[in-house]
Amino acid sequence: MPFFVPSPQLLRPANLLDSPDRVPDSRAAGTPEPLRAGLVDLLGEAKVLSKVSDLVKYASDASPYRFVPQVVVVPETVQDVAAVFGYAHRNGRTLVFRAAGTSLNGQAQGEDILVDVRRAWAGTGARAGAVLLPDGVHARIAPGTTVLRANAALARHGRLLGPDPASGRVATVGGVVANNACGMTAGTTRNSYRLLSEVTFVLPSGTVVDTGAPDADERLREAEPALCDGLLALKREVEADAALVARIRAKYELKNTNGYRLDALLDGVTPTGILRGLVVGSEGTLGFVADTVFETVPLERRTSTALLFFPTLADAAAAVPGFNGLGARAVELMDGNTLRALASVQGVPDDWAQIPREVTALLVEFRSPDDKTLDAYEQAARRTTGDLQLVRPVASATNEFTRDRAVAAVYWHAREAFVTAVGKTRPSGTTLITEDFAVPPARLAEACAALLELQAAHGFDAAVSGHAAHGNLHFLLTFDASRPEDVRRYAAFMDAFCTMTVERFDGALKAEHATGRNLAPYLALEWGERATALMWRIKELFDPHGVLAPGVVLSRDPEIHLKGLKTIPPVEAVADPCIECGFCEAVCPSHDLTTSPRQRIVLRREMTRQDEGSKVLDELLDSYGYDAVDTCAGDSTCKLACPVGIDTGALMKDFRHRRHSAFEERNARTAADRFALLEAAARTGLDAAAHLPDRLLTAATGAARAAVRPDLVPAWLPEIPSGAAKALPPTGPRSEAAAVYYVACVNRIFDSTGGGEHTSLPQAVVDVSRRAGRPVWIPADLPGTCCATVWHSKGYLDGNALMANRIVERAWEWTGHGELPLVVDASSCTLGIAEEVLPYLTARNRELHAKLTVVDSTTWAAGLLPHLTVTTPLASAVLHPTCSMRHLDVVGDLAAVAAAVSDEVVTPVYAECCGFAGDRGLLHEELAASATRNEAAEVLARDFDAHLSANRTCEIGMDHATGRTYRSALIALERATRPAPGNPVAGARPAGPHSGA
């Protein structure tokens, strides 16, 4: 046992609720035998998750339900999926698929085998994101790819996916197909049912069907004759019933995802054609989507957007048909409750919190391939708005169309944050339920009024939003699932709501969120007994043994929607607003290794549900230290991905602090106090290590890690460079400088040249700044200073406070009391000095900090570009934007610098935090390996002339992940702008050989 291992009990929640729905102690051992052993024999140990913490972290998703599975499996191939199907059939078990966990109605949850089909199905290397096929229209997309990443790949070719759900940043394409998720612009013509051209599908029998194969029907008939005959028989039966045909066609004139797509029986000609249609919206109840080919849509790059405010919801709804008639691509509705809640979303004007309850806004957008067409759209739209009764409820309401992408981005970010923003404002401890329905667009205003009346009658004050152009409304309700009277009130409302939607409006009870569990009892209400019986027969044809997702889509239990409703026990304040939507997961470095931010919070909530003496609590605490706290990169990109800015990384840093002993805290403060000595020692140690074999260093650090604690002692990696030069480049006097150049401690410790004759980063910054006529000054007393991030990220409060105040005091003197900007050459250090030190400063130093201008080196370099001449351009460069660049919003500056020096610049679709996080990649190499796996595969799929970033430890991490050499983009800029021989550039200094960046 290593020394300095903290007790798991240090993270024990202060208050244990002993909730009736807590996981019982009988589940403390995790997956029971022989289930665990059987699946391990079938798939291997790595693909079977069986600890109780594994089961609990998968028990919750974005829906209002919580079901703890018996086991979680992570298949990697269609053969794995088929093997799990066979195991379930042979052993009388059931299974449910889960991808991103953003489903809103319980369709991705089950109580037996849960199958994670996100981790291994994202597409990597040359297949990252989406691959456009030779016709330039169709794209092959792996089902675990998020919509955002698919679109990032397609946009390079001027194409996009048709479906655009608000959860597209994290929702997977396979999940979009399974739910027929639509979004803001898809409507009934650009959804998966219309645009999914081919699908590879694994049937419950294990048969793999590729509908795009030339002989697909022959193969299917050979393997599944009963299925083929049954589908054709159903087709004939439906087509012979004219009234039923008319009913089916009418139902799909609206957005409708309730039940199976019965129009597939009309539109499909052959068994595989029918199957392709039935797969869409089947919610994992008929089989598994293993691959997709989509017909893509054109990317219309010209946009004009307006947020229009109306006095009432009815007024806004009444204006929708006019914008539809003009050809608006999107018309989104947000009521007063929604708008006020959105004031908590980053970037949204604060005064939205003052918008009156009755005011409603329409977000209207026109898109076009060219400016001329967009001009015509705008002129017509302005004539229309001139005839409307618009209001200005707050100063930020302009009611004007704009082509400013930044303004439009705020509007769309607000709209996409609807669910999470309203969830943040819910009373602590309450459950959030999201519902959506569709009515004929012409009756939208009437439906809005009826919905509000119904909510009031049942004691709800819901927020309403929706895709108004398509008659599709969303609303949110909150109640306490632990109170039987609240559950009864919710049940009564659902009965009344469903009856109203069907009988008064002949609407769709589920427009785009799919049936799931929540609407399964109401399927026959909408479709009638005849059509519902057809759906049961479809299910029996595909899944005769009832293996897949019992209770999802089809159920004979009239109260299934009231079972498994999750309670939301209060936890730490920073995490309590979480509604478990999962928007954070796609950007989390550890989400494929241990836990995601959502799962860290889900586990914390389960701890709170437990009681004194709980065996489950002890097991969760034993796992939480490594799975949640140690393997959190602390990069806080989850805060950026979360629409309401929940910073789970900050919570994990607080937990790290809770685990520290007084001895560790004193040592950390001493290290901060004597950092100049440690800095010099580190350089000396790195220079000495450069002369020792890697295997010796690996063995020595491994022994130390085993003796002390892996989370305290870094491992040795061959990519770790030697020490930096002790002397920094000479610069002129401060009086002649345009900026103070702060050489971050990582660039004072680690060599940045890559060896040989390459220019170091400090020299490159000095040279290129002088060359551009903007010289910098390096202070002499940099040693011993740091941005404090190393103490902050580890949760050492005293050391963090000491260093944070020291750097601000020094920067105040260096910059002449704020007269010069402070240029920082490591993006994580820029973030540390500019933002992260603030909570730890004295009142006086906060005043000084407010007068400082802290500039990242990429932003500084981008500002130099107009004054530089590129003499030696690169042919291609690949970028690694760091997580701190995203926090600082300077990724565009990195791209601008790269574009100036390279003819081609590529940002990988999977470029996210590398997980190195200062030294965390040395403490937990497995974290960095998991975080960079997909990005590294993309990078290695082709050759690049340069691999560029702007943070030294991230560059080391990417070197280790790819075997390529990453350097700062400023080194590449210096090399590319050196004066050409015989044609010196004014102000240039003599330069050595090209750096090879």
Could you read off the pLDDT of 144-184 as tens digits, one per residue?
999 999 999 999 999 999 999 999 999 999 999 999 999 99
Could you read off the pLDDT of 222-272 as tens digits, one per residue?
999 999 999 999 999 999 999 999 999 999 999 999 999 999 999 999 999
Going by C-alpha positions, the residue among 992, 976, 990, 991 that lies closest to residue 872 is: 976
Q: Is 281 left (phi over 0), alpha (psi -120 to 50) or beta?
A: left
Residue 989: pLDDT band (50, 70, 90) is very low
Q: Is the pLDDT of residue 984 over 80?
A: no
928 contact partners, CB below 8 Å, separation of at least 6 = 589, 914, 915, 916, 920, 921, 957, 960, 961
Could you read off the pLDDT of 821-838 as tens digits, one per residue?
999 999 999 999 999 999
**What pLDDT is attached to residue 127?**
79
> Per DSSP, which regions of 316-359 are E strands?
330-334
Could you read off the pLDDT of 754-772 as tens digits, one per residue?
655 568 999 999 999 999 9
**What pLDDT is attached to residue 768?**
98
What pTM was computed for the model? 0.95
Query: Which neighbouring-strand residues pair with 740?
Result: 777, 822
Half-sphere exposure of 52 (CA within 13 A, CB side): 21
3 state DSSP class of 257: coil
In this chain, the answer to whether the domains covering 1-30+569-659 and 43-298 adopt an identical fold is no
| Structure-block tokens of residue 833 | 């000095």
180 contact partners, CB below 8 Å, separation of at least 6 = 191, 192, 193, 257, 261, 280, 281, 512, 514
Q: Is the pLDDT of residue 273 over 60?
A: yes
- What phi and psi values does residue 947 have, to the nearest 5 degrees? -125, 110
**What pLDDT is attached to residue 986?**
41
**What pLDDT is attached to residue 980?**
80
Cis bond leading into 34, ω under 30°?
A: yes
**What pLDDT is attached to residue 106?**
94
Could you read off the pLDDT of 346-361 as tens digits, one per residue?
899 999 999 999 999 9
Could you read off the pLDDT of 618-636 as tens digits, one per residue?
999 999 999 999 999 999 9
User: Angle at Cα 631 formed by Cα 628 and Cα 634, nearest 5°?
Assistant: 90
| Structure-block tokens of residue 367 | 């898109």
CATH 3.60.21 fits 869-976, yes or no: no
Residues 372-394, mean pLDDT to the nearest whole number: 96
Q: Is the pLDDT of residue 992 over 80?
A: no
Q: Give the C-alpha separation, 36 to 133, whole Å.
A: 41
Span 302-513: which CATH code? 3.40.462.10
Q: Give the C-alpha separation, 913 to 588, whole Å.
A: 7
Going by C-alpha positions, the residue among 516, 430, 509, 441 that lies closest to residue 477 is: 430
Residues 717-729, mean pLDDT to the nearest whole number: 94
Residue 917: pLDDT band (50, 70, 90) is very high
Residue ranges of alpha helices (H) inside 44-172 are 52-57, 78-90, 147-155
Q: What sign results for the dihedral spanned by CA atoms 686, 690, 692, 695?
A: positive
**What pLDDT is attached to residue 1?**
63
- Domain 1-30+569-659, CATH class in plain words: mainly alpha
Q: Is the pLDDT of residue 16 over 60?
A: yes
Mean pLDDT of the chain: 95
Q: What is the DSSP string of 366-413?
A: EEESSHHHHHHHHHHHHHHHHTS-----STT-----B--HHHHHHHHH
Residue 27: pLDDT band (50, 70, 90) is very high
Residues 35-60, mean pLDDT to the nearest whole number: 98
Q: Give the C-alpha separation, 435 to 474, whole Å.
A: 6
- Radius of gyration for the alpha carbons in the chain, expressed in angstroms and rounded: 29
Q: Give the C-alpha separation, 407 to 51, whole Å.
A: 47
Residue 981: pLDDT band (50, 70, 90) is confident
Residue 209: its H or E element: strand 208-210
Q: Give the C-alpha separation, 906 to 944, whole Å.
A: 9
Could you tell me the residue ranges of all domains in the chain? Answer: 1-30+569-659, 43-298, 302-513, 669-710+717-862, 869-976
**What pLDDT is attached to residue 4?**
80
Fold observed for domain 43-298? 3.30.465
Q: Residue with structure tokens 């708005």?
A: 385
**What pLDDT is attached to residue 991?**
28
Residue 124: pLDDT band (50, 70, 90) is confident
Query: Which neighbouring-strand residues pair with 116?
Result: 98
> Per DSSP, which regions of 637-714 are E strands?
none
Residue 870: pLDDT band (50, 70, 90) is very high
Residue 753: pLDDT band (50, 70, 90) is confident
More confident residue, 896 or 989: 896
Residues 55-71, mean pLDDT to the nearest whole number: 97
Residues 453-461, mean pLDDT to the nearest whole number: 92
Q: Is the pLDDT of residue 425 over 60?
A: yes
**What pLDDT is attached to residue 543?**
98
Residues 953-982, mean pLDDT to the nearest whole number: 93
Q: Give the C-alpha separation, 784 to 188, whole Å.
A: 63
DSSP strand pairing (138-141 vs 288-295): antiparallel
Q: Is the pLDDT of residue 990 over 60?
A: no
Q: Is the pLDDT of residue 449 over 70?
A: yes
Could you read off the pLDDT of 182-196 as tens digits, one per residue?
999 999 999 999 999
State the DSSP code for 728: P
Going by C-alpha positions, the residue among 315, 472, 305, 465 that lies closest to residue 381 is: 305
More confident residue, 851 or 754: 851
3 state DSSP class of 48: strand
Say how many C-beta atoms besides its own lie within 10 A of residue 380's C-beta: 17
- What phi and psi values does residue 930 have, to the nearest 5 degrees? -70, -40
Residue 803: pLDDT band (50, 70, 90) is very high
Instruction: Give percent of the chain with pLDDT exceeding 70.
Output: 98
- Of the listed ranges 566-575, 584-593, 745-754, the least confidently predicted one is 745-754
CB 650 within 8 A of CB 574: yes
Q: What is the DSSP string of 427-483?
A: PTT-EEEEEEEE--GGGHHHHHHHHHHHHHHTT---EEEEEGGGTEEEEEEEE-TT-
